[in-house]
Amino acid sequence: MNLKDQSLSSRIFRLLLRIFPSDFREDFGNEMEEVFREQRAETEHAAGKIGLLRLWGETIVGMLRTGPREHLAMLRQDVNYAFRMMRKNPGFTIIAILALALGIGANTAIYSVIHGILLKPLPYPEGDRLVVIRQQALAAGLQDVTFSVPEIADYRARNHTHSGLVEYHTMIFTLLGRGEAQRVRTGVVSAGFFDFFGVQPILGRTFRPSDEEPGAPPVLVLSYEYWKRSQGGDPDIVGKTFEMNDMVHSVVGVLPPVPQYPNDNDVYMPTSACPFRSSAQTKTNRDTRLMRVFGRLKPGVTLEQSKADLKTIALQLQKEYPKSYPSGSGYGAVSIPLQKELTHQARPTLLVLLGAAGFVLLIACANVANLILARMARRERELMIRSTLGANMSRLLRQLVTESAVLGVLAGALGLLFASGSLKLLVEFASRLTPRAREIHIDGPVLLFTLVAALATSIIFGSVSSVCAGEDLSTGLKEGSNQTTIGKGRKRARNVLIVSQVAFSVMLLIGAGLMIRSLIKLQQVDPGFVAQRVLTMRLHLNWSKYNTAQQSREFAQRLLQKLQNQPGVMSAAISSSFPLDPESRIVGPNTSRFQIEGRPTQDGKLDPQTNVRSTSPDYFRTLGIRMLKGRTFSEGDKEQTVQVAVINNSLARHQWKDEDPIGKRVSFDEGKTWIIVVGIAGDVKEFGLDKEAGDELYVPLDQYVAVGSLELRTSGNPLSVATQARRAVREIDPETAISNVETLEQARSDTLNSPRVMTNLLGLFAVLALAIAASGIGGILALSVNQRVHEIGIRMAMGAKTYDVLRMVVGQGMMLVLLGVALGLGGAVVLTRLLGAFLFEVTPTDPVTFLGAALVLLLASLAACYFPARRATRIDPLEALRYE
């Protein structure tokens, strides 16, 4: 026995030897130590301590140079070997890479969205200090009240915690002189708005204080998207003019692609260019609230300090203007980080999707680990031979892990391709949830994520399979056996892998199932109108030209007359908006407070409020809204006749309970004019199929003119009358812009886009999981049948029937599946609670879905078990006995 030298020098040298790979150490370590010992002795004798020091230096440098080189050489060798093994087993290689690539691809795709939206800082300098400031009247149920000009001035002057407050509102202008009149969504902002955000234009300049002065020449800044889309990215756009409504504006700059919040605007103009914003009435009336306000926290100021500051100002204002801020309204003001405001809607959706994608990857890992284990049975002989030829255990395991890593990296590359292929769809999906969708890219951090996912994946499945293989191999070697038998450890690992694949698949299936059930329920919701065969479009009158109500009234009357006589049009209506109209879903309800005759407003209480909509008489007929009581509007309800209203069932219930509202009177101007309720209409889902219908009051268009949209009920395909409708509008007034031409069914379907995409993604993940798991179960059973040919042959020779064999093989697989299903159901009870917020009229533990998912999985597994089992029944006992 070679007793080790215990001198300090030798111990240090042995420590340094750890730089080398283990099998290098095993081969040469002792010898190196011996050589060094002799060298040391001789050097000390010949050159003393100085020589010894030089020897140490040379030796250490040599080791540092050679060690890594040896590692690299071994890696190269292992990688080459791995590629050779993969070429030898193309079936295994393709399945494993595909399964992992799908898992990694799904995760990369979702992560790219999460990184772009949730993790990246806002694309503004010190974007974490930007806040949205909101007024609230919580007692009145108002979370988000816009600001009036005097309010903005007060908050600007009195706050101590913000280095700037800027205002914003959005308007529709009509672009003229370029063919058909076009609708231009316009953000109206403070002159310092873009400097406040730190946005540098990519062309020209943004606004200066002088642009905001009264009488300044009207100027425009274009958004990046509008510049690209409508102006073809014209590099000479600065200086060109836009004729909008009654003014000619010149373009002074183009914005970079930045998230636009709260609206995607086409162009921006300073406040002075907006006639509403610059009117004397808006400037002085505290209750004319149009604007949104953004703030920037001063350096060192926390969000809490900002909130406290705003609260103080709100209390002061409430004291000074009790009429504008009634004491019982719960009036206040708060600040919310802009980052949170831009992403709060997307966050839960994305996290659920990431979780689901993670499950798919885990299932893929389990499946590949299982494939490797199965293949290991066949490779056992090879590994044992290599082992007896001198390869040590850690060397063999290292080889196996390298093979896994190569698989993982290849799958990662393919997964990246999948992810980049799906990116466009994902960006479109994300754009429904957040204005930051344009920031989604496959960039450095995403690539890093993919690499880490690929390597982590290969470490997971590689080490699971290696550990089990190692365990079996060492016992196999100890026993000196050269028979390929499935070791206990490996068999147990395989079973665990199958059970976990099934369990995760069940959870994904249930998640997808719940979303599907919820989507079906949403599609079945009675919206309160008949969406089939209705064409809708938004109309944008050039409001600068329509100075009197009579002008708008005439436009509406002429258009309706023209359209009602068109072939294919059964009825036509004009209204301020229509149900599920995308524009009003952006802006929200047009609510007003009103008084009911005989019920004086109580001190400190707010008047009731309702959404108000102006409609022409045929609105109810055109949209198929049921009348529950009374009458609709008629041609007789004119400007000069008694003012009338139709209310919806919800308003009737809320305000009149058991009383009959018909004949009752309400007022929107504190009793100056009274409006008689003449009818009750059925409730309509105005702002979303998943939202309760709110209170609604309809007034005749002739009495309250507001031309916003056109609705046509047609006898055939609604889109076939679109051209004639457009022509009719143009003939009456070519300066009226038309937008959002679509059928009511499309508008209705669009509201479900977001749940639909989420359902599709979860469904896709679940199908992937099911396919991977089922193929895994089938593959393992097939292998097990192969290994038991001899045993099955004996059983059959002893009289076992086909049915017995079938039952034995299927039973073996289904036992594991049943266990997996049970665990999956348990896990789902816990996890589906996270889906609660996404579900509509379906509980997270919906028994139908749970049963359905379990059934789908059992059937798929049964099918997967059946094929290997059928092969088992075809074993010829004589052949099988000879086989051994």
Partner 1 sequence: MNPRDEVSDPPLPLTPAMFQVLLSLADGDKHGYAILKEVAEQARGEVALSAGTLYGIIKRLLAEGMIEECRPRPAREHDDARRRYYRLTDWGRQVAVAEAERMEELIAVARVKRLLKKLKPA
Pairing relationship of beta strands 219-222 and 182-189 according to DSSP bridges: unpaired
φ, ψ for residue 600 (rounded to 5)?
Answer: -60, 150
The structure tokens listed for 245 are 């409504």
**Shortest reach from residue 30's CB to partner 1, in Å:** 7
Nearer Cβ to partner 1, position 27 or 750?
Answer: 27
Question: Is the backbone peptide bond immediately before 262 cis, with ω within 30 degrees of 0?
Answer: yes
**Shortest reach from residue 397's CB to partner 1, in Å:** 21
Distance of CA 247 to the CA centre of its chain: 41
**Shortest reach from residue 27's CB to partner 1, in Å:** 7
Burial 543-569 (b: 16+ CB within 10 A, else e): beebeeeeebbebbbebbebbeeeeeb
Nearer Cβ to partner 1, position 21 or 253?
Answer: 21
**Which amino acid appears at position 172 of this protein?**
I
H-assigned helices in 331-478: 338-343, 347-388, 393-431, 444-478
Q: Does the footprint of partner 1 cover residue 69 (CB under 8 A)?
A: yes
Which residue is it, tokens 């730190």? 198
Helix (H) or strand (E) holding 143: strand 142-145
Distance between CA atoms of residues 296 and 122, nearest Å: 13
Nearer Cβ to partner 1, position 31 or 692?
Answer: 31
**Shortest reach from residue 69's CB to partner 1, in Å:** 6
φ, ψ for residue 829 (rounded to 5)?
Answer: -55, -40
Nearer Cβ to partner 1, position 69 or 833?
Answer: 69
Distance between CA atoms of residues 518 and 754, nearest Å: 12
Strand partners, 667: 595
Of 20-28, 400-408, 804-812, 854-862: span binding partner 1 (CB under 8 A): 20-28
**Shortest reach from residue 58's CB to partner 1, in Å:** 5
Q: Tell which residue, 112, 143, 150, 716, has the closest CA to residue 415.
A: 112
**Shortest reach from residue 398's CB to partner 1, in Å:** 17
Cα separations (Å) of 563 from 557, 560, 581, 638, 676?
10, 5, 21, 20, 30
> Site residues for partner 1, window 506-545 (CB under 8 A)?
none
Q: Does the footprint of partner 1 cover residue 76 (CB under 8 A)?
A: no
8 Å CB contact between 852 and 513: yes
Nearer Cβ to partner 1, position 398 or 438?
Answer: 398
φ, ψ for residue 143 (rounded to 5)?
Answer: -85, -25
Nearer Cβ to partner 1, position 2 or 547?
Answer: 2
Which residue is it, tokens 């100027």? 219
The 3-state DSSP class for residue 303 equals helix
8 Å CB contact between 82 and 75: no
**Which amino acid appears at position 272 of this protein?**
S
Nearer Cβ to partner 1, position 32 or 113?
Answer: 32
Nearer Cβ to partner 1, position 71 or 730?
Answer: 71
8 Å CB contact between 411 and 95: no
Distance between CA atoms of residues 660 and 643, nearest Å: 19
The 3-state DSSP class for residue 816 equals helix
**Shortest reach from residue 399's CB to partner 1, in Å:** 16
Nearer Cβ to partner 1, position 64 or 308?
Answer: 64
Q: Does the footprint of partner 1 cover residue 2 (CB under 8 A)?
A: yes
8 Å CB contact between 773 and 841: no
φ, ψ for residue 768 (rounded to 5)?
Answer: -60, -45
**Shortest reach from residue 53's CB to partner 1, in Å:** 13
**N residues, the chain:** 884
**Shortest reach from residue 70's CB to partner 1, in Å:** 6
Nearer Cβ to partner 1, position 3 or 798?
Answer: 3
What is the 8-class DSSP label of residue 232? T
- Give the residue, chosen from 66, 163, 316, 723, that forms a contact with partner 1 under the rule CB under 8 A: 66
Nearer Cβ to partner 1, position 7 or 241?
Answer: 7
- Give the residue, chosen from 47, 53, 64, 859, that forms a contact with partner 1 under the rule CB under 8 A: 64
**Shortest reach from residue 31's CB to partner 1, in Å:** 6
> Site residues for partner 1, window 24-63 (CB under 8 A)?
24, 27-28, 30-36, 38-39, 55, 58-63
**Shortest reach from residue 367's CB to partner 1, in Å:** 37
Nearer Cβ to partner 1, position 13 or 207?
Answer: 13
**Shortest reach from residue 38's CB to partner 1, in Å:** 5
Distance between CA atoms of residues 405 and 766, nearest Å: 26
Strand partners, 725: none
Strands (E), 718-846: 737-743
Burial 38-55 (b: 16+ CB within 10 A, else e): eebeebeeeeeeeebeeb
**Which amino acid appears at position 280 of this protein?**
A
Instruction: Sketch the per residue contact string, 151 through 190, with partner 1: x for CB under 8 A, - otherwise.
Output: ----------------------------------------
> Site residues for partner 1, window 393-432 (CB under 8 A)?
none
Distance between CA atoms of residues 697 and 686, nearest Å: 12
Nearer Cβ to partner 1, position 57 or 209?
Answer: 57
8 Å CB contact between 578 and 592: no
**Shortest reach from residue 1's CB to partner 1, in Å:** 11
**Shortest reach from residue 435's CB to partner 1, in Å:** 59
**Shortest reach from residue 20's CB to partner 1, in Å:** 9
Nearer Cβ to partner 1, position 45 or 599?
Answer: 45
The structure tokens listed for 51 are 């020589």
**Shortest reach from residue 405's CB to partner 1, in Å:** 23
Nearer Cβ to partner 1, position 26 or 234?
Answer: 26
8 Å CB contact between 224 and 258: yes
Nearer Cβ to partner 1, position 61 or 855?
Answer: 61
Nearer Cβ to partner 1, position 34 or 876?
Answer: 34
Q: Does the footprint of partner 1 cover residue 378 (CB under 8 A)?
A: no
Of 23-31, 175-183, 702-710, 867-875: span binding partner 1 (CB under 8 A): 23-31
**Shortest reach from residue 395's CB to partner 1, in Å:** 14
> Site residues for partner 1, window 120-149 (CB under 8 A)?
none
Q: Tell which residue, 314, 310, 300, 333, has the closest CA to residue 129.
A: 300
**Shortest reach from residue 35's CB to partner 1, in Å:** 5
Helix (H) or strand (E) holding 241: strand 241-244
How many positions of this chain bind partner 1 (CB under 8 A)?
28
> Site residues for partner 1, window 214-253 (CB under 8 A)?
none
8 Å CB contact between 558 and 701: no
Nearer Cβ to partner 1, position 59 or 667?
Answer: 59
- Give the residue, chosen from 26, 52, 70, 570, that forms a contact with partner 1 under the rule CB under 8 A: 70
Distance between CA atoms of residues 156 and 138, nearest Å: 23
Q: Does the footprint of partner 1 cover residue 7 (CB under 8 A)?
A: no
The 3-state DSSP class for residue 484 equals coil
Q: Applying CB under 8 A, which residues contact partner 1?
A: 2, 13, 16, 24, 27-28, 30-36, 38-39, 55, 58-67, 69-70
